[in-house]
Structure formats: structure tokens, C-alpha cells
Amino acid sequence: MIKFKTHLKSLVPYPPGKTVDELKRELGIKGKIYKFNSNENPLGPPDSVKKLIKDLAESVHLYPEASYIELKKKIAELWNVSPEQVVLGNGSDEVLEFVFKALINPGDEIIVSQPSFLMYEKFGEIYGATIKKIPLNEKLVHDFNEILNNITSNTKAIFIDHPHNPTGQVLSRKEWEAFLNAVPEGVLVVIDEAYGDFIEGQDVPLGIEFLKKGYAVLIVRTLSKSYGLAGLRIGYGITHLEVAKILDSVRQPFNLNLIAYKAGITALEDRDYLKKSQKLVFEGRKYLSSELEKMGFKVLPSQANFIMVNFGDKAKLIYEELLKRGILVRPLGAYGFNSYLRISIGLPEENVYLINNIDEILQRGEK
């Protein structure tokens, strides 16, 4: 009998979001599906990338260039670092896994917030790490004090999603600097900025400034959200040169396919698309937050492309009634927030449609 790693017996795979086709089959919906549940970019991919994909159709029998140097150069230019400081992944998830491959031995500790992006915990389970889960504080943000209190000599890495998922909330520069100054030498702080392009305000820092100040950090980003390329799986990390070399050494060759590699370059050059994407989110989350607050619901202040809303005892009703209408939002019971729903920002007309349907559900429910 084949003996697999015993710690994998209790592993539950990550539950991915369902596609539109899957949902239509399962729910029996023939009309349009409105996806407010997966934090995808409602604009679709940039036109420049769509044209590129058509042009590349005749080249997919060829391997991409293994160094991916042109994409690394584009990313390095964007953040004013050297290309050698950039590590590319098949989605940001793979960059996160490089940390486990290169740094985490069975029994080593990692620290994550509870809740946070589930893959930190999943990778910890796969690689046999001891996972310390630190609940969010009373304001539903990362509890830096408790994280520091739980660091031991066995702690190898701390994973911080910023903006946080699912709350969308952030921490100030002052809070970040106090935290990083207190993290012991030898502990890597992974700053996951999957939603970093949607941060507004100069008082909210980006991880790159802490890297340039010399802190032991790895910044992880993706082209899935703000660049509308979730289906192509393009992620990257930026860190100190010596760390990047180690992380890159555990990367499989050709981990990005040819189309993803070229599309990444093209997307990063399309600054107009990025601005359009940001504007849509900034205006959409302001509209949705305002309308839902008028209805009497508490909306957490978000710096991501989604909002987290406390619907109180109406959460289940609203979720189920929206589902019947082909409108999908994310219930957060699995995160321990039974009265909350997470809502992705849609196109302006979709946001209005959502609000109108919630209003109609509430009026019917009160009769």
C-alpha cells in the first residue's frame, strides 16, 4: 500500500469559485448571471491583450523564453527595482508557495490572521507547518500586537493581506512601521497586495517602501484584479536580491505560459486600462457603500474592489433571494461572519441593478 504523508489526510482542498456555466447548470438560470462574488474585474481584459492573444495563436506550439526577462523588466521599471528582484508565478498563489518550498520545514511556524486568504493556511498544511491563527482585532483589522506576541524562535514567516480579504480594510504607515521594527531578524513578512492597486490615500503605505527601507519583506501582487487577467494566472513577487534568487531557484521552468508572459507585458504597458479599472472601483464602492448605508446597513471602509456589509438578521434572506435572481454575492459564514456578505464592485449599471434588487427584497420581506 502506498503511504502518503500522514498530515495530508485531513487536508481539505481550496474551494474555488464556480464559473458562470457551472452556476447556470446548478441553479437552472437561463438569463444573465451577475457575479458580485469573486472579486473579478467586470471590465473584462484590456483590448490590447485581446488583440495580442489573437496574434499569438500561431505561436503556441513554441515554448516561452525561460528567463521571462522582458516581463521582469516591465515590473522592475514600474517599481524602480532591478529585474533580478522580481519573481514570477503562475498567479500570486504560486509565488506564495515558493516561500514554503524555500523556507518552511515541517514543524516550522507561520503566522496568519483569522480570517485571511485561505491559501496561506492551505500551503501551511501541505508543507507540514505549524499554523498560528491570530483573530482580527475589534476593528476587524490585522492585530499586529497579538501577531508580535505569538512570534517564537520557530517562526519563519508572517502572511499579511493588505488590503485584507474579506474586510477590505488597511492599516496606517505608522502601524506598519511599528510592527516591522518589532519583527525579529530572520522572520520574513509577506505583504500580499492582490488588491493594492485599489488603495486610495497617501497615508496608506505600499509594501515597496518598506522593502526599500531594508525590512525583510516580500511583496506579492497579481494581474488578476486591476488588470483583468484572472484567467491567465500572472503573479509576481518583489523582494531583496538574495531572497529573490532563492525563491526563483524553486520555480519550475516555463511556469508562465507563452500567452500569459506576453499578455503580462502588454497589460502593464496599458496604463489607460489600469486608470479606468481604478476609477470604476473607486466610484463603484463609494456608490454601493452610500446606498447600503442609507438602507441602514454597516459597510466596512474598503480599499479593495469589494465591500463587506453587515446585513444583520437579513443576511441569509438577501443572499438567498439574490441567488434566485441570478445575482451572486459572497456569504461569509465560513469566515465566522454570519451576518455579513462580501460584494464585489461591478459595472455602474450592475451596481444599480444590485441595489434595486436588495431594496425590492427588503420591501417584500417587510410586508
DSSP letter string, 89-104 = EESHHHHHHHHHHHHP
User: What local confidence, expressed as pLDDT, does residue 84 receive?
Assistant: 98
Judging by beta carbons within 10 Å of its beta carbon (0-12, 13-18, 19+), is residue 209 exposed, middle or buried? middle
Q: How far apart are CA 308 and CA 300, in angstroms?
A: 6
Geometric angle at alpha carbon 105, from 122 and 125, rounded to 5°: 15
Q: How far apart are CA 98 and CA 88, in angstroms?
A: 10
CB 335 within 8 A of CB 300: no
The closest alpha carbon to 117, from 40, 198, 172, 193, belongs to 193
CB 311 within 8 A of CB 318: yes
- The cell for 153 is 524562535
Complete domains list, the chain, with CATH: 6-45+274-366 (3.90.1150.10), 47-271 (3.40.640.10)
The closest alpha carbon to 311, from 344, 343, 352, belongs to 343
Residues 6+ apart with CB under 8 A from 124: 100, 104, 110, 112, 130, 131
- When pLDDT is cut at 50, 70 and 90, the band that residue 197 belongs to is very high
User: What local confidence, expressed as pLDDT, does residue 30 receive?
Assistant: 74
Highest averaged pLDDT of the listed ranges 20-29, 263-272, 328-337? 263-272
H or E element in which residue 34 lies: strand 34-35
pLDDT score of 164 more than 60: yes
Q: How far apart are CA 124 and CA 183, in angstroms?
A: 20
What is the phi/psi pair of residue 234, to 5°? -125, 115
Q: How far apart are CA 21 and CA 68, in angstroms?
A: 33
For a pLDDT cut of 70, what percent of the chain falls above it? 97
User: What local confidence, expressed as pLDDT, does residue 48 receive?
Assistant: 96
Mean pLDDT score of the chain? 94
CB 143 within 8 A of CB 158: no
| 99-136 residues labelled b (16+ CB within 10 A) or e (exposed) | bbebbbeeebbbbbbebbbebbbbbbebbbbbbbebeb
User: What local confidence, expressed as pLDDT, does residue 26 receive?
Assistant: 76
| Eight-state DSSP code of residue 6 | G
Is the pTM higher than 0.85? The answer reads: yes
Q: How far apart are CA 127 and CA 100, in angstroms?
A: 7
- The cell for 47 is 483590448
Cα 14 to chain center, whole Å? Answer: 14
| Interval 319-362: pLDDT, tens | 999 998 999 999 998 888 999 999 999 999 999 999 999 999 99
- When pLDDT is cut at 50, 70 and 90, the band that residue 12 belongs to is confident
pLDDT score of 18 more than 80: no
Q: How far apart are CA 198 and CA 276, in angstroms?
A: 11
User: What local confidence, expressed as pLDDT, does residue 130 receive?
Assistant: 97
- When pLDDT is cut at 50, 70 and 90, the band that residue 115 belongs to is very high
| Interval 26-61: pLDDT, tens | 777 777 899 999 999 999 999 999 999 999 999 999
- The cell for 90 is 503562475
| Interval 228-263: pLDDT, tens | 999 999 999 999 999 999 999 999 999 999 999 999
